Amino acid sequence: MNILHMKYAAEVAKEGSLSKAAQNLLIAQPNISRAIKELEADLGIVIFDRSAKGMILTAQGEEFINYAKGILNQIDHVEKIYKDGMRKKAKFSISVPRASYIADAFVKFSKNIGSEAVEIFYKETNSQRAIHNMLNHDYKLGIVRYADNYDRYFKSMLDEKGFNYELVTEFSYCLMMSKTSPLAKKEHIKIDDLEGYIEVAHADPYVPSLPVAKVIKEEFPDNIDKRIFVFERASQFDILCENEKTFMWVSPAPQNLLERYNLVQKKCDDNKKVYKDVLIYKKDYKLSRLDKLFITELCNSKRKVFKDF
């Protein structure tokens, strides 16, 4: 069945006349007449009754034209999407660790993307998933977080997989808690001071190819016997804000977020472990305008948030 013939038939049905349809379509009338006869022969039905009054749809013809209109509308919709819309949209995609300073940069970035049509994908996840998204799901940028003692392993792995990598920042985790928490009143906090409190922790720390049990043992000290695992950042702030017996290890957060949730962040004297946040992208990928805009906001947020840490 020829789609063009279907279009001719729909136009004839609308006008009730071969001549008017021919004028609208800028096609010779005999060509339309021949096309409709071929269409009827292909389908084995009579679409029109020909009379002195014009072209009248048969019962089968009415049923066919209803189907044809739906098909032609879908074709028009697909053409509109790909000719006028989707192909012209700029895209930005990034997978990142759950970090408030990165989210702050993303918010600033979102305010400055301009008036162009754009699709933006922002995924918070662990390092293993960030790399997976870039290799298998067409994410263009990623930020991976790892402990400094894994630096050689990560750089070797990123080289092997064909990534460029640039250091964003180095830091030691600080403690976040409610302003009303007894911990907030301490001038100096030791690891032992955390016993008896409830730790809020992200549930998926992971280093590619290393045993999960080994990573979990390193990331979650044994002196905490009450722990709440969360998979996103929104609920963690509600828990920390409302439950003064909770705390969380976090990368330094923006002051406006702390004030919004009535939280404080404090250093722990015993915590000397250093982490790295590293920006990655494929070696054959050229950074877009949106990529560069986000990286600028990321650097601005990092400088602002980390100046006291």
26 or 88: which carries more pLDDT confidence? 26
How many Å apart are CA 185 and CA 191, to the nearest integer?
15
Name the residue among 279, 288, 276 with its Cα closest to residue 134: 279
**Do residues 263 and 184 make contact, with C-beta atoms less than 8 angstroms apart?**
no
Query: Which residue type is seen at 306?
Result: F
CATH of the domain at 293: 3.40.190.10
Q: What is 229-295 written as a DSSP string?
A: EESSHHHHHHHHHH-TTEEEEES---HHHHHHTTEEEE-BTT----EEEEEEEETTPPP-HHHHHHH
Name the residue among 194, 151, 148, 150 with its Cα closest to residue 174: 194
**Do 36 and 179 share a structural domain?**
no
CATH of the domain at 46: 1.10.10.10
Note the pLDDT of residue 230. Answer: 77
How many Å apart are CA 149 and CA 162, to the nearest integer?
22
Percent of the chain with pLDDT over 70: 90
Confidence of residue 295 (pLDDT cuts 50, 70, 90): very high
How many Å apart are CA 75 and CA 3, to the nearest integer?
10
**Do 268 and 178 share a structural domain?**
yes
**Do 294 and 248 share a structural domain?**
no
**Do residues 168 and 298 make contact, with C-beta atoms less than 8 angstroms apart?**
yes
Note the pLDDT of residue 53. Answer: 80
**Do 65 and 192 share a structural domain?**
no
**Do 265 and 292 share a structural domain?**
no
How many Å apart are CA 46 and CA 60, to the nearest integer?
7
307 or 242: which carries more pLDDT confidence? 242
Segment 140-193, tens digit of pLDDT: 999 999 999 999 999 999 999 999 999 999 999 999 999 999 999 999 999 999
**Do 68 and 107 share a structural domain?**
no
How many Å apart are CA 106 and CA 229, to the nearest integer?
24
**Do 10 and 79 share a structural domain?**
yes
**Do residues 140 and 291 make contact, with C-beta atoms less than 8 angstroms apart?**
yes
Give the total number of structural domains in the chain: 3
How many Å apart are CA 56 and CA 47, to the nearest integer?
8
CA angle 119, 125, 127 (to 5 degrees): 115
**Do 143 and 9 share a structural domain?**
no
Biggest alpha carbon distance in the chain? 99
Sign of CA dihedral 21, 27, 29, 33: negative
Which residues form the domain of 225? 173-272
42 or 85: which carries more pLDDT confidence? 42
Per-residue pLDDT, averaged over 226-246, amounts to 87
How many Å apart are CA 255 and CA 162, to the nearest integer?
37
Q: Other C-beta atoms within 10 Å of 177: how many? A: 25
